[in-house]
Structure formats: C-alpha cells, structure tokens
Amino acid sequence: MIDEKALKASAQSWVGTPFAPNGNTKGMGVSCQRLVVEIYREAGLGKFSVPDVSMSHAKFAKTSIIEEWFAGNNSFERVTDLQVGDILGFRINKVIHHIGIFLGDGQFIHALFQVGAVVSNLSDPTWGSRHKATWRLK
C-alpha cells in the first residue's frame, strides 16, 4: 500500500534538482528513471533499480529499454487507470523513453533534460499525448 503523504513529500523534496543523465543525487542531479527509484525508496516502497538509458536511445531505438524492464519485473503490473504512485511511461520519438510518478489531480513528477525535477500536468498536450503506459507496484 502506498503512503500518499510520504510519496508526495519525497516528490516535493526533489523539485528543483537539476537534470543529470543517470544521476540520483538530490539537489545535485537526477534523471527521470533515477528520480522514480529514489522517490520510491524514500517513501518506503522498496528498493529497485531501473537500467541506465543513454540520452540518444529514443532517437534510434525500435524497442524501449524501460518498457522491456517493466514487462520483465514481477513487482509491477501494467494498468490502465491512474492511482497516486503509479509510474507513467511517455513516448519520446518512437519508444517509451521517459518516466514519472503520478501524484494525483492530473499531476506527475519527472526530471527533464535542461530543466530538472518538476511537477507537470497530464492535461498539458505535450505530456497527455505522449503518455503511453502506466505501471503499478503490486
């Protein structure tokens, strides 16, 4: 069971952390996949690791490293509804290459290249149209 208060507090504490490819240090640098891992860890949802993904992967890949990782991980299930704490997968170019955590009320936290950790809204056409998968901790 997800402690929504702990998850949201952890997420908020990461806002403003700069982007760093495959980084995981609050205030110093974080990537989208490492942000998800660290927020889950801080909220007491367990430890797991997501594979490193190069910045250029989405430009040339025909398959998603992230999507394949979730498909092979028995701790998560793919779902179609949204609940606080769900991991959202976003298409970048042709594959799912970006992830964030759903915070409720249409909002999610993620880390963007040249921006860092921010809270965005799924009603934003940029993100709503790219949202292609949702995974939930079992």
Q: What structural domains and CATH numbers belong to the chain?
A: 4-137 (3.90.1720.10)
CA 100 – CA 98 distance, rounded (Å)? 7
H/E stretch holding 136 reads strand 131-137
pLDDT band at 131 (very low <50, low <70, confident <90, very high): very high
- pTM for the predicted model, two decimal places: 0.95
Enter the tokens of residue 66: 């992230």
| Mean pLDDT rounded to a whole number for the chain | 94
DSSP per-residue codes, 52-93: P--TTHHHH-SS-HHHHHHHT-TTEEE-SS--TTPEEEEEET
Taking only the tens place, the pLDDT of each residue in 65-101 is: 999 999 999 999 999 999 999 999 999 988 999 999 9
